[in-house]
Amino acid sequence: MLNRRNLPDALERCLLRFTRNDLDKILYEELALPLPQDAAEPLQAYSKRELVRAFTCHLQLPALVAVAQRVVAEVEPDAALQDFIDRFHASGSGVSGAVKKPDLRRERP
């Protein structure tokens, strides 16, 4: 069962199903996640796991849940992530509804 401590790992496992090239497109283009300013460059040298962590390690729980919700809805259905999202919203910890998709990404290196 997912909880606040292992949500990042579950999200990572879900995303690691993709190839490195697909993962790059998913994180940059489909999810348009901002890369933290302190991320080392060049990103091409990152492993898949390092790439996912670079994009998600700085996120607080509500933002991480929003990313998980978008992954489930737009990228890859995942029952464990969906269950966590449902329980998170049912607990009153988050706002339910459509996730806004702001374009916060930096220019690609």
pLDDT per position as a tens digit, 22-44: 998 999 889 988 876 776 667 77
Q: Which of 92, 72, 96 is nearest to 82 (CA)?
A: 72
What number of helices (H) and strands (E) belong to the chain? 5, 0
Is the pTM for the entire model greater than 0.85?
Answer: no
Predicted confidence (pLDDT) at residue 7 exceeds the cutoff of 80: yes
